Each structure stands twice: as structure tokens, then as C-alpha cells.
């Protein structure tokens, strides 16, 4: 059967021009997303003006039958607002949602605010990501992930024909020197924490040592700050081989609800049981001895008012420790405890085993540990960490070795996982 070829969906036929009363009218047929042909018209005072006008209408036409609320002519701000509404319904942690909102408000939206969706090209997205990468890899990666979610949302609403992220350059993680604390730095911070605000002439209440002890637990277990602060007596088990800690919560700070203990850690894989080195176990036992049986679900490291210690206060006091130790120019943060633990375990038991310890592997391994209480928890990591980091007669052999590429990848993952550590 012969005849004119059928107009493809999303395309139009020949544009016809007609002069009407001193003006010009342009019209054509556009095949909408529901498969039907419909006329599109435009009127202007000149041939050039009317051609430009009808082409603009064709370019921004979302079409009948799409059900979409966005189109190519929609401002980026409209996409952002609709996506934020959709974000409220997603089954992810409130902390993750806050991070998305902040990244959108502070970085992504200011750059794209003046564009309509049809004006956001691959080249413009590439330029933006290069700008972010010049500031930091982490910031560029967060922006890339956020834009991916936004453009996929726009695609689902038939607002854009393709994702502008397609074709942008891969974000290459810059190589950097692995930053784990040396044994000497560990001992310097320990000494500074023990002496913090205890010198002659100090006024005010004597420090209770809880931040010092939290740091010792983080050093021994490589927990995230929020995980260590969320630890409760019911999360700690004494076994024949040693203490085991069940990480099943974290302390979070939210704009609306303030600081509180969240009854699950950052990710499913973070819900895990880990062995506790003896030097950190002693600190926990001393704190548990001060608590009553009725306080089984109260955080071990709580404030004088019984409420959780905040991550903000932990970091602030830790900065004092670092300053008193004379190490303030090195940029050491609580995250370095996880870096140090990861370095020791990667060199002592291998990168894959270290990743399992850190909760960076499949949830199947975590589930196995959850079900097989005690017997499934390998005490080898605790033994290695205790040998290397104990306060008295530590062995610095592992920290003195040269880093491997696999080890650097593990530490990069830890940094990426805890950007605010």
C-alpha cells in the first residue's frame, strides 16, 4: 500500500504559511504522544517571527494524552518543586532526604534556576559538573546523583525526550594519599583527651570523660560517631571469646526534631555485630558499671540530663583534643578513627574481610551474623586492633606498611559513606 509516510510520534509535518489581514499565520500537524495528529498554529507580524514562534511551540509541546505536568518550556524550578514533593513519599531516611534538599538548594538549583528544561543540554550539565569537581569530587558526585534523579523524574513525566546527563564525562576520583593516623598521633590524642580541662586554674565542672571514652570506643571498633553514641547496654553482649557489640542504631540531628537516637543505623548493611577489642571493652564495662538494670535502653554515653550526647558536641570536643595534642593543622576528624581501623584491618586480614567488618558488603553476610549470635562473630579483627592500638605496648607494624590500591579504594568508600565524618 502506497501513500505518504506516517508522521512519527513527537514530530510534525510541513509548516504552511498564510497571509491574513497583514499578518502571517503558520500551521502544521503534530503527532502527539497518544498517536493522534493535531494542528498547531501561530500568528505573527512577519514571516521570520511566525516561523520562530511556531517552532518554539512545537519544541515545547508535551502533547495530549501524556498526563504530564511538566514540559520542555517548564522552568527548572518547577521540576525541583515537584521532585521535592515526590521525595517526601520515598522510603528513605530523613537524614538522606535532608542531604538531598540541601544539595539542591545550595548547589544544583542556583546554577540551573534560569533555564527551562528544554534549555538544559548535555554541554551545560557537563560545565556544571566540571565546576563542582574543581571544588571537590564528593560535591560533584552528589550533584551528579541528584541530577540523575531529577532528570529521571522529568522523563517519567514526558517533560524531556532524553536525559541530559547521558554523554557527560565520567567523574574520576582523584588519587590521594591515604590518611590514617600514625600510632604516635593516636597516642598524642589519647594523652590530650585524658588531660582535657584538668589543668590547674580550670573553673567549672570537671569533665566527665565521656567524649574521651567515646573516642576510645571509636578507635577500637571503627564505629561511626553516631553509632558509638547510640550504643546501649542491651546492644552489648559478653561472650567466652570477648565482648560483642550489636550496631542497630545511630544518633542523628534533624532540623525539625533535634538530636535523638534513631532505632536503625545508616544502612541495612550497617546493622551488624562486631567484636570489641579489649582496651575498648574495658571502657564500655566501666560505663556500664555506673548504670542501673533499668537503664538497659538508655545510651551508654548520655549527658548529665540523661539525653543522648550530640554528634556536634562530640566533634567540637574532639577538635579541642586535636588542638591540645598539637595536631590541629593536619585536619584530623573523628572519621580518621574509621580510616585508621580500616588501614589496620586491610593490612592484617585483607580488604574483603575488612569491608565485611565495616558493613560495606552484602546484607546476606550481615543477616548471617545477626542470626548466629556469638559463634558467627569472628574475634580476629578485635585481636588485631587491640594489638595495634592498645594504650600500653602497642605494635605499630601494620600502620607502618605502605598502602595498596585496594586499601585506598576501601578508604575512599569510607570517606564517601561518611562525608561529614
pLDDT at 43: 92
29-45 pLDDT, tens digit each:
988 767 788 899 999 99
Residue 334 CA to residue 212 CA, distance in Å, equals 12
Strand-strand pairing, 250-254 and 243-247: unpaired
pLDDT at 175: 64
Percent of the chain with pLDDT over 70: 87
Domains and their CATH numbers in the chain: 1-67 (3.30.160), 76-156 (1.10.150.130), 183-417 (1.10.443.10)
Could you say which DSSP state residue 266 is in? S
The set of cell numbers assigned to 372 is 548466629
pLDDT at 419: 47
Please state the length of the chain: 421
Contact by Cβ (8 Å): 301, 231: yes
Pinpoint the alpha helices (H) of 222-361.
225-230, 278-288, 311-324, 335-349, 351-357
pLDDT of 7 strictly over 80 = no
pLDDT at 254: 74
Q: What are phi and psi of 274, to 5 degrees?
A: -130, 150
pLDDT band at 63 (very low <50, low <70, confident <90, very high): low
pLDDT at 107: 95
pLDDT of 312 strictly over 50 = yes
- Residue with the bigger pLDDT between 12 and 270: it is 12
pLDDT band at 416 (very low <50, low <70, confident <90, very high): low
Cα angle 272, 274, 276; round to 5? 150
Least confident range from 51-55, 225-229, 416-420: namely: 416-420
pLDDT at 227: 93
With b for 16 or more beta-carbon neighbours within 10 A and e for fewer, the 300-336 pattern comes to bbbeeeeebbbbeebbebbeebbebbebeeeebbbbb
Strand-strand pairing, 250-254 and 258-262: antiparallel
Residue 115 CA to residue 121 CA, distance in Å, equals 10
Per the DSSP assignment, residues forming a β-bridge with 24 are 19, 44
pLDDT at 3: 58
Residue 221 CA to residue 278 CA, distance in Å, equals 10
The candidate with the shortest Cα–Cα distance to 151, out of 135, 138, 167, is 167
Question: Taking residues 200-226, what's their average pLDDT?
Answer: 88
- Residue with the bigger pLDDT between 307 and 290: it is 290
Q: What is the mean pLDDT of the chain?
A: 85
What is the value of pTM for the model shown?
0.64
pLDDT at 360: 59
218-275 pLDDT, tens digit each:
999 999 999 999 999 999 999 999 999 999 989 888 776 778 888 877 766 678 889 9
What dihedral angle (degrees, nearest 10) is formed by the CA atoms of 271, 275, 280, 283?
80
241 φ/ψ sector (left φ>0, alpha ψ -120 to 50, else beta)? alpha
329-376 pLDDT, tens digit each:
888 999 899 989 999 999 998 888 888 788 654 433 333 333 333 346
261 contact partners, CB below 8 Å, separation of at least 6 = 229, 230, 249, 250, 251, 252, 299, 308
pLDDT band at 172 (very low <50, low <70, confident <90, very high): confident
pLDDT band at 114 (very low <50, low <70, confident <90, very high): very high
pLDDT at 38: 87
Amino acid at each position: 500500500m502506497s501513500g505518504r509516510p506516517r508522521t512519527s510520534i513527537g514530530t510534525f509535518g510541513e509548516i504552511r504559511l498564510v497571509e491574513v489581514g497583514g499578518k502571517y499565520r503558520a500551521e502544521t500537524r503534530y503527532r502527539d504522544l497518544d498517536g493522534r495528529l493535531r494542528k498547531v498554529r501561530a500568528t505573527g507580524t512577519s514571516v521570520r517571527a511566525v516561523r520562530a514562534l511556531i517552532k518554539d511551540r512545537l519544541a515545547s509541546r508535551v502533547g495530549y494524552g501524556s498526563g504530564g505536568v511538566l514540559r520542555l518550556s517548564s522552568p527548572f524550578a518547577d521540576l525541583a518543586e515537584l521532585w521535592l514533593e515526590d521525595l517526601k513519599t520515598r522510603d528513605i531516611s530523613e537524614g538522606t532526604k535532608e542531604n538531598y534538599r540541601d544539595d539542591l538548594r545550595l548547589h544544583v538549583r542556583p546554577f540551573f534556576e534560569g533555564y527551562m528544561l528544554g534549555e538544559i543540554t548535555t554541554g551545560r550539565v557537563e560545565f556544571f559538573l566540571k565546576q563542582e569537581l574543581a571544588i571537590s569530587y564528593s560535591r560533584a558526585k552528589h550533584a551528579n546523583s541528584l541530577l540523575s534523579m531529577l532528570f529521571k523524574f522529568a522523563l517519567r513525566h514526558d517533560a524531556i525526550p532524553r536525559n541530559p546527563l547521558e554523554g557527560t564525562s565520567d567523574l574520576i576520583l582523584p588519587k590521594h594519599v591515604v590518611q590514617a593516623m600514625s600510632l604516635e598521633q593516636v597516642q598524642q590524642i589519647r594523652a590530650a583527651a585524658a588531660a582535657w580541662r584538668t589543668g590547674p586554674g580550670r573553673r567549672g565542672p570537671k569533665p566527665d570523660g565521656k567524649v574521651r571514652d567515646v573516642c576510645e570506643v571509636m578507635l577500637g571498633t571503627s564505629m561511626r560517631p553516631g553509632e558509638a553514641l547510640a550504643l546501649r547496654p542491651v546492644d552489648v553482649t559478653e561472650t567466652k571469646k570477648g565482648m560483642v557489640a550489636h550496631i542497630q542504631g545511630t544518633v542523628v540531628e534533624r532540623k525539625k526534631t533535634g538530636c535523638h537516637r534513631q532505632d536503625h543505623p545508616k544502612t541495612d548493611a550497617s546493622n551488624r555485630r562486631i567484636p570489641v577489642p579489649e582496651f575498648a571493652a574495658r571502657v564500655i564495662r566501666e560505663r556500664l558499671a555506673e548504670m542501673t538494670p533499668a537503664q538497659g535502653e538508655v545510651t551508654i554515653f548520655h549527658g548529665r540530663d540523661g539525653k543522648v550526647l550530640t554528634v556536634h558536641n562530640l566533634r567540637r570536643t574532639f577538635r579541642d583534643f586535636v588542638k591540645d595534642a598539637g595536631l590541629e593543622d593536619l585536619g584530623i576528624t573523628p572519621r580518621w578513627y574509621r580510616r585508621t581501623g580500616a588501614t589496620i584491618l586491610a593490612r592484617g586480614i585483607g580488604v574483603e574481610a575488612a569491608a565485611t567488618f565495616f558493613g560495606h558488603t552484602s546484607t546476606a553476610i550481615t543477616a548471617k551474623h545477626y542470626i548466629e549470635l556469638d559463634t558467627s562473630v569472628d574475634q580476629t579483627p578485635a585481636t588485631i586492633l587491640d594489638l595495634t592500638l592498645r594504650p600500653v605496648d602497642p605494635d605499630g607494624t601494620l600502620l607502618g606498611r605502605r598502602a595498596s590500591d585496594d586499601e585506598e579504594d576501601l578508604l575512599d568508600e569510607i570517606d564517601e559513606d561518611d562525608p561529614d565524618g
